[in-house]
Structure 1
């Protein structure tokens, strides 16, 4: 919304602001907000959901089949379950929210025990190490020991 306000202010300052142009700036601001808005990730016992712009996708973490990390600069974690469900999201969401990671990890462990998780155990292990390291650094920083 800051984009729309700034462009309206600049256009008004240049003397070229009209009702049509104000509408255009407002529409562009809303469009930019909806495109850049990150997906909402939530989890419960045995499931993980990613809510995007249009719909919500859900996977059963107890029946994961594959976990992979795509991309080198803007990475995405892609989870697929045995029922055809698939979600993709930024793994930094898990780093920022260790409780989401705990739900995913618990479900992935059950998938391993049941034998459904065939691909991505190393991806989960590396992600877990990264999250544990970040959490430990945060605890040390908060306690003043770093």
Structure 2
């Protein structure tokens, strides 16, 4: 039997599981080495993946898409304690909030450029405000000083 074919008793080979999720087989081996997957073995010692493994792979992919690293995912899979789960996820949530805020600021800048009626985008009031904020001295707390330099025309 080729390693990419489905096996007996509703299990999948490493090739079949990898293909199902669009992964390379070495990814599944790496996840196994990290303790994220625990496939069974057939009589010949080949990995066999069942329904629980399908669920684990889908879970890992969803958590990776959410921005979590494999070490964080491993920590999450090792706990059933709600408080521990919160300790693990809280920094990830804050990091994601920061990335969302940065992306939102970038989108506002781009939309400002799209909506600017001036030929030269540097003449747009919103652009000038952003440049003035960036160029102004900052207080130790990281807030712009109130006497921000006004853009010159």
| TM-score bracket for the superposition, by shorter chain length | under 0.3
Q: Which has the higher helix share?
A: 2
Q: Which has the higher strand share?
A: 1
Q: TM-score, normalised by structure 1?
A: 0.27
Q: Which has the higher contact order (CA 8 A, sep 6+)?
A: 1
Q: Which has the larger radius of gyration?
A: 2
Q: TM-score, normalised by structure 2?
A: 0.26
